[in-house]
A and B are shown apart, each in its own frame.
Chain A
């Protein structure tokens, strides 16, 4: 270091972790974030009168929900709950069937053709940008209320998720194996099934399980817009102000979600 400081004299040098440009960028982010939070807090429309009695209202709500109407399970909840699980599972199966080709087309190393990659990515992004409730609204308008709309909503929302992660797994596949297979003159389908598939298989199962878990949660609310499953039972109980039944439905959703998560964690531990 060619510093002009004489020996013995303390060199005043400040050590900083980040360059000025980095610091400026970070400062800008902090500033913009703080400003937008303050702006939101000051302009968002909140009716304060409603807030004052919120604790009371909450207490009243819990009071009305108790005791949970367990007897309602047989009559109104069980079938809807099973329907919800079927909607989630069938929706996942359907999504995987549709997502695999799109994911393959989105992987740059498998299909080395830019425009196709972009088109596939556009499909995946639009699938993810539309919430499953909106998909459900659309499909209810098309197919009428019922589980078909719910299943398709789950499937279309999941294409983006499964396709994106599957495409990324394909892009991370080891090139060596693929080259070795191609050198033997293997046809395209064989390269896919014997070269790529074994490499992405663990990621694939992990993605499917993860999405199924999410879909179980999501399919529980689709009924609110008429797309079948336990949400319909919830909606009916809410509209009739039968709070003990609402509590029963919420309790069963909670149980199913927890069990689904445990199942997924266990399977993941065993297989992957």
Chain B
């Protein structure tokens, strides 16, 4: 079309425009269905101002229950990650399609899918009914979540390894366990450290929450402070949770730095 000089450099796409219109229509429809009105929003903003006013300055009303809650959350996160990782290693290995026969991968994949599909808090409710209130329910709930997450990623990592090294180890007449230890694990170790630190981090976040349904940790303290309208204590708890999570994130980053060799990129 060089003969016609005035061609638009970036022609408008009618499909894109139709997409925007549809999106806007959806937002209006869904907002109406969920009963969002300006009035409610404005009333809420008014409430919000008062709420923030009551939150500050934060006051630690019960230092003991704050400290105990934080320590218990930390314990839940550590134990749940440890148990979850220990269980997810064989499950992930069983689920890897390049090393295992079909009859082993399917059950393992179903276990992983079941563990992944429920939010930890819902799992925590069920465990609270089963083992009673307290940290045990939280540990079991987060353990289930960890098995789902690490199991899936571990299986995917194993499926991406180079089979040449596995074959080389096998050619020496190594036993199955030796093939796994020397042929498979070294190839997935760095990625595994990545998932493990990520999961520890995520368990730490969730361990502060499972207390809302009675499964131990700081969440219980937080929820009861909310119900007593002790908003200044709520603010103090929230700030300490955020501080703990940030420290955890820094530590996780440091651990990753220790294990991931600089200048050596695996795979990609």
Where the two chains meet, the residues of A that have a C-beta atom closer than 8 Å to any C-beta of B are: 22, 25-26, 29, 36-37, 39-41, 43-47, 50-51, 54, 57-58, 61, 82-83, 86-87, 89-90, 93, 125-126, 129-131, 133-134, 137-138, 141-144, 146-148, 151, 194, 217-218, 220-221, 224-225, 228, 234, 238, 250, 253-254, 257-258
For A134, the chain B residues whose CB sits under 8 A away are 209, 222, 238, 241
* Interface residue ranges, B against A (CB under 8 Å): 10, 23, 26-27, 30-31, 33-36, 40-41, 43-44, 47-48, 51, 72, 74-76, 78-79, 82, 113, 117-119, 121-122, 125-126, 129-132, 134-136, 139, 205-206, 208-209, 212-213, 216, 222-223, 226, 231, 238, 241-242, 245-246, 255, 258-259
Asked if A143 and B258 sit within 8 Å, CB to CB, the answer is no
Assess the B209–A46 pair: CB atoms within 8 A: no
Are the CB atoms of B23 and A44 closer together than 8 Å?
Answer: no
Q: Across the two chains, which residue of chain B brings its CB closest to A52?
A: B131
In the complex the two chains form, is A131's CB within 8 Å of B130's CB?
no
CB <8 Å contact, B79 and A130 = no
Q: What is the chain B residue whose CB lies nearest that of A41?
A: B79
A61 touches which one: B126, B222, B242 (CB < 8 A)?
B126
| Residue among B34, B129, B223, B242 with the highest chain A CB neighbour number at 10 A | B34
Docked-complex contact B117 and A254, CB < 8 angstroms: yes
A47 to B135, CA, bound (A): 9
Contacts of B51 in A (CB 8 A): 138, 141-142
Bound CA–CA A158/B258 (angstroms): 30
Q: Closest approach, in angstroms, between the C-beta of B243 and any C-beta of chain A?
A: 9
Smallest CB gap from A255: residue in B:
B117
**27 residue pairs from A and B, CB less than 8 Å apart:** A22-B258, A29-B259, A44-B79, A44-B139, A45-B134, A47-B134, A47-B136, A83-B34, A86-B30, A86-B34, A125-B246, A129-B205, A129-B241, A129-B245, A133-B209, A137-B222, A137-B226, A142-B44, A142-B51, A151-B34, A151-B36, A217-B117, A224-B212, A234-B122, A250-B122, A253-B117, A258-B113
Q: Are B82 and A37 in contact (CB under 8 A)?
A: yes
Asked, given contacts A44-B79, A90-B34, A130-B242, whether A50 binds B132 with beta carbons under 8 Å apart, the answer is yes
